[in-house]
Amino acid sequence: MADVHILSVDGVLLVTFPGVTDDRTAERLIEEVGSRLVERAARAVLIDVSNARMIDSFMARVLAGLAGASRLLGAEPVVVGMRPEVAITMVELGMDLGGVATALNVEHGLADLRARAGRRM
């Protein structure tokens, strides 16, 4: 998975979402993120989809799977960087991300996570 980058920043994993085209690649992505979550004891996962020009039903399912696995491992998933045309297409096709938080970009996603963490303390 050469096009996947996973960075750890202050207890948060930043994952660039690649063009996943098959179930095996999707499984490997979710496994790798899960391993890093446990290894780093991350509190959240920012899933950066800014490189995605389109998200079809398969990609939406992979995103939902990644978010669900992250939740089960105790990390809060946030999808960041969605392009307007992608959001419009998802709405037109009736797709959603199952209640996963979203943010305009990585900066906003981190700020939102910090604000929510402050309210829980």
Domain CATH for 30: 3.30.750.24
Whether pTM exceeds 0.75 = yes
The pLDDT value recorded for residue 121 is 37
Query: Phi, psi at residue 42, to the nearest 5°?
Result: -70, 145
Residue 55 lies in a domain: yes
The pLDDT value recorded for residue 23 is 84
Residue 1 lies in a domain: no
The residue range of the domain holding 42 is: 6-120
CA distance 43 to 25: 24
Weakly modelled stretches of the chain, pLDDT under 50: 121
CA distance 88 to 54: 10
The pLDDT value recorded for residue 3 is 61
DSSP E strands in 23-105: the ranges are: 44-48, 76-80, 101-103
- Look at residue 102 and give its three-state secondary structure: strand
Domain count, the chain: 1
The pLDDT value recorded for residue 120 is 57
